[in-house]
Amino acid sequence: MRILITAGPTREPIDDVRFISNRSSGQMGFALAEAASAAGHGVTLLLGPVLMPPSVADEVHVIRFNTTADLEALLAEHFPKCDVLIKAAAVADYRPAELIKGKTPRGKGLKIELEPTPDLVAGCAKTKRDDQTVIAFALEDPAVIETRAVEKMQRKKVDAILANPLQTMDASDIEPILFYADGRRDAPGRMAKTKLAGWLIGRVETM
Protein backbone atom coordinates (compact mmCIF):
# COMPACT_ATOMS: atom_id res chain seq x y z
CA MET A 1 0.00 0.00 0.00
CA ARG A 2 0.94 3.63 -0.41
CA ILE A 3 0.57 5.20 3.03
CA LEU A 4 0.59 8.96 3.62
CA ILE A 5 1.26 10.07 7.20
CA THR A 6 1.16 13.58 8.67
CA ALA A 7 3.09 14.30 11.87
CA GLY A 8 4.24 17.10 14.16
CA PRO A 9 2.82 20.57 14.89
CA THR A 10 2.09 23.53 12.66
CA ARG A 11 3.51 27.00 13.24
CA GLU A 12 1.19 29.91 12.48
CA PRO A 13 3.16 33.19 12.23
CA ILE A 14 2.18 36.26 14.24
CA ASP A 15 4.96 38.44 12.81
CA ASP A 16 8.32 37.77 11.16
CA VAL A 17 9.67 36.32 14.44
CA ARG A 18 6.85 34.92 16.57
CA PHE A 19 4.35 32.16 15.94
CA ILE A 20 1.51 30.13 17.50
CA SER A 21 2.18 26.41 17.84
CA ASN A 22 1.60 23.42 20.14
CA ARG A 23 3.56 20.74 22.02
CA SER A 24 3.32 17.94 19.46
CA SER A 25 6.64 16.07 19.23
CA GLY A 26 5.88 14.02 16.12
CA GLN A 27 6.76 10.79 18.00
CA MET A 28 3.60 9.01 16.96
CA GLY A 29 4.08 9.93 13.31
CA PHE A 30 7.70 8.77 13.35
CA ALA A 31 6.69 5.44 14.86
CA LEU A 32 3.92 4.98 12.28
CA ALA A 33 6.27 5.76 9.39
CA GLU A 34 8.83 3.24 10.67
CA ALA A 35 6.21 0.54 11.27
CA ALA A 36 4.60 1.02 7.85
CA SER A 37 7.98 0.96 6.12
CA ALA A 38 9.04 -2.16 8.04
CA ALA A 39 5.82 -3.85 6.91
CA GLY A 40 6.82 -3.26 3.29
CA HIS A 41 4.54 -0.33 2.44
CA GLY A 42 5.53 2.79 0.51
CA VAL A 43 5.51 5.67 2.99
CA THR A 44 5.40 9.43 2.54
CA LEU A 45 5.73 11.41 5.78
CA LEU A 46 4.54 15.03 5.81
CA LEU A 47 6.47 16.40 8.77
CA GLY A 48 6.09 19.64 10.73
CA PRO A 49 8.88 21.67 12.37
CA VAL A 50 10.28 19.08 14.78
CA LEU A 51 13.62 17.26 14.92
CA MET A 52 13.49 13.98 13.01
CA PRO A 53 15.21 11.04 14.74
CA PRO A 54 17.84 9.10 12.77
CA SER A 55 15.82 5.91 13.25
CA VAL A 56 13.36 6.92 10.50
CA ALA A 57 14.08 4.57 7.60
CA ASP A 58 15.76 5.91 4.48
CA GLU A 59 12.89 4.39 2.47
CA VAL A 60 10.46 6.91 4.01
CA HIS A 61 9.92 9.93 1.76
CA VAL A 62 9.92 12.94 4.12
CA ILE A 63 8.48 16.32 3.07
CA ARG A 64 8.52 19.26 5.47
CA PHE A 65 5.79 21.79 6.26
CA ASN A 66 5.48 24.72 8.66
CA THR A 67 1.99 26.19 8.47
CA THR A 68 -1.48 24.76 8.05
CA ALA A 69 -1.53 26.29 4.58
CA ASP A 70 1.70 24.45 3.73
CA LEU A 71 0.20 21.14 4.85
CA GLU A 72 -3.05 21.82 3.01
CA ALA A 73 -1.11 22.29 -0.24
CA LEU A 74 0.93 19.11 0.33
CA LEU A 75 -2.22 17.09 1.02
CA ALA A 76 -3.80 18.40 -2.20
CA GLU A 77 -0.75 17.11 -4.07
CA HIS A 78 -0.10 13.79 -2.33
CA PHE A 79 -3.47 12.55 -1.01
CA PRO A 80 -4.79 11.54 -4.47
CA LYS A 81 -1.74 9.27 -4.90
CA CYS A 82 -2.12 7.32 -1.64
CA ASP A 83 -4.20 4.34 -0.53
CA VAL A 84 -4.28 5.32 3.15
CA LEU A 85 -3.98 8.66 4.94
CA ILE A 86 -3.09 8.57 8.64
CA LYS A 87 -3.46 12.09 9.96
CA ALA A 88 -1.37 12.26 13.14
CA ALA A 89 -0.26 15.90 12.78
CA ALA A 90 -1.43 18.39 15.42
CA VAL A 91 -2.79 21.14 13.17
CA ALA A 92 -3.53 24.47 14.85
CA ASP A 93 -7.24 25.16 15.33
CA TYR A 94 -6.65 28.91 14.92
CA ARG A 95 -4.14 31.20 13.21
CA PRO A 96 -3.60 34.99 13.17
CA ALA A 97 -5.96 36.62 10.70
CA GLU A 98 -3.17 38.96 9.52
CA LEU A 99 0.61 38.74 9.55
CA ILE A 100 2.28 41.69 11.28
CA LYS A 101 5.20 42.95 9.19
CA GLY A 102 8.58 42.98 10.91
CA LYS A 103 8.85 42.35 14.66
CA THR A 104 6.24 43.62 17.11
CA PRO A 105 7.84 45.88 19.78
CA ARG A 106 8.25 44.56 23.32
CA GLY A 107 6.65 46.30 26.28
CA LYS A 108 3.22 46.99 24.83
CA GLY A 109 0.01 45.02 24.94
CA LEU A 110 -0.68 43.03 21.80
CA LYS A 111 -4.08 42.04 20.49
CA ILE A 112 -4.17 39.30 17.88
CA GLU A 113 -7.30 38.45 15.92
CA LEU A 114 -7.48 34.74 15.23
CA GLU A 115 -9.35 32.91 12.49
CA PRO A 116 -10.16 29.19 12.33
CA THR A 117 -7.96 27.02 10.16
CA PRO A 118 -9.53 24.68 7.59
CA ASP A 119 -10.33 21.13 8.69
CA LEU A 120 -7.76 19.30 6.57
CA VAL A 121 -8.71 15.72 7.37
CA ALA A 122 -12.41 16.42 6.74
CA GLY A 123 -11.46 17.99 3.42
CA CYS A 124 -9.55 14.85 2.41
CA ALA A 125 -12.39 12.58 3.56
CA LYS A 126 -14.84 14.58 1.44
CA THR A 127 -12.80 13.97 -1.73
CA LYS A 128 -11.55 10.44 -1.08
CA ARG A 129 -12.19 7.62 -3.50
CA ASP A 130 -13.90 4.38 -2.52
CA ASP A 131 -10.51 2.64 -2.58
CA GLN A 132 -8.94 5.10 -0.11
CA THR A 133 -8.96 4.97 3.69
CA VAL A 134 -8.67 8.00 5.99
CA ILE A 135 -7.77 7.62 9.67
CA ALA A 136 -7.85 10.63 12.00
CA PHE A 137 -6.54 11.21 15.52
CA ALA A 138 -8.41 12.79 18.43
CA LEU A 139 -6.81 14.19 21.59
CA GLU A 140 -9.53 14.49 24.22
CA ASP A 141 -10.22 14.77 27.95
CA PRO A 142 -10.50 11.21 29.34
CA ALA A 143 -13.94 11.96 30.84
CA VAL A 144 -15.48 12.61 27.41
CA ILE A 145 -13.05 10.83 25.10
CA GLU A 146 -15.51 8.33 23.62
CA THR A 147 -18.37 10.76 23.02
CA ARG A 148 -16.18 13.42 21.42
CA ALA A 149 -14.11 11.01 19.36
CA VAL A 150 -17.16 9.31 17.85
CA GLU A 151 -18.81 12.70 17.17
CA LYS A 152 -15.62 13.92 15.50
CA MET A 153 -15.35 10.75 13.39
CA GLN A 154 -18.91 11.09 12.16
CA ARG A 155 -18.62 14.84 11.50
CA LYS A 156 -15.38 14.49 9.57
CA LYS A 157 -16.66 11.37 7.76
CA VAL A 158 -13.41 9.45 8.22
CA ASP A 159 -13.14 5.65 8.21
CA ALA A 160 -11.69 5.41 11.72
CA ILE A 161 -10.37 7.62 14.49
CA LEU A 162 -7.72 6.88 17.11
CA ALA A 163 -8.66 8.62 20.36
CA ASN A 164 -5.99 9.47 22.93
CA PRO A 165 -6.28 11.14 26.36
CA LEU A 166 -4.76 14.62 26.65
CA GLN A 167 -1.94 13.38 28.88
CA THR A 168 -0.33 11.37 26.05
CA MET A 169 0.94 14.39 24.08
CA ASP A 170 4.39 14.44 25.75
CA ALA A 171 4.41 10.79 26.86
CA SER A 172 6.31 7.89 25.34
CA ASP A 173 3.37 5.53 25.88
CA ILE A 174 -0.31 5.79 25.08
CA GLU A 175 -3.70 4.26 25.96
CA PRO A 176 -5.78 4.65 22.81
CA ILE A 177 -9.18 3.54 21.56
CA LEU A 178 -9.68 2.97 17.84
CA PHE A 179 -13.24 3.68 16.70
CA TYR A 180 -14.43 2.50 13.28
CA ALA A 181 -17.14 4.15 11.19
CA ASP A 182 -19.09 0.85 11.16
CA GLY A 183 -19.46 0.98 14.97
CA ARG A 184 -16.63 -1.36 15.99
CA ARG A 185 -13.97 -0.36 18.50
CA ASP A 186 -10.55 -1.65 19.57
CA ALA A 187 -8.96 -0.83 22.94
CA PRO A 188 -5.51 -2.49 23.14
CA GLY A 189 -4.62 -0.99 26.54
CA ARG A 190 -1.57 1.09 27.48
CA MET A 191 1.49 0.53 25.33
CA ALA A 192 4.56 2.32 23.99
CA LYS A 193 3.94 4.52 20.95
CA THR A 194 6.36 2.38 18.95
CA LYS A 195 4.33 -0.75 19.72
CA LEU A 196 1.05 1.03 19.05
CA ALA A 197 2.31 2.05 15.61
CA GLY A 198 2.78 -1.57 14.55
CA TRP A 199 -0.61 -2.46 16.01
CA LEU A 200 -2.33 0.34 14.07
CA ILE A 201 -0.61 -0.49 10.79
CA GLY A 202 -1.83 -4.07 11.26
CA ARG A 203 -5.39 -2.78 11.68
CA VAL A 204 -5.01 -0.59 8.58
CA GLU A 205 -4.00 -3.62 6.53
CA THR A 206 -7.31 -5.33 7.38
CA MET A 207 -9.53 -2.34 6.59
| Three-state secondary structure readout of the chain | CEEEEEECECCEECCCCCEECCCCCCHHHHHHHHHHHHCCCEEEEEECCCCCCCCCCCCCEEEECCCHHHHHHHHHHHHHHCCEEEECCECCCEEECCCCCCCCCCCCCCCCCEEECCCHHHHHHHHCCCCCEEEEEEEECHHHHHHHHHHHHHHHCCCEEEEEEHHHCCCCEECCEEEECCCCEECCCCEEHHHHHHHHHHHHHHC
Residue of 21, 22, 66, 104 with catalytic role: 22
Domain boundaries along the sequence of the chain: 2-99+110-206
pLDDT in tens, 65-77: 999 999 999 999 9
More confident residue, 57 or 5: 5
Which is the CATH superfamily of the domain at 2-99+110-206? CoaB-like (3.40.50.10300)
The per-residue pLDDT for 131 is 96
Q: What is the pTM of this model?
A: 0.93
What are the pLDDT digits (tens) for 129-145?
Answer: 999 999 999 988 888 88
Q: Is the pLDDT score of 189 beyond 80?
A: yes
164 is catalytic: no
Is the predicted pLDDT of residue 111 greater than 90, yes or no? no
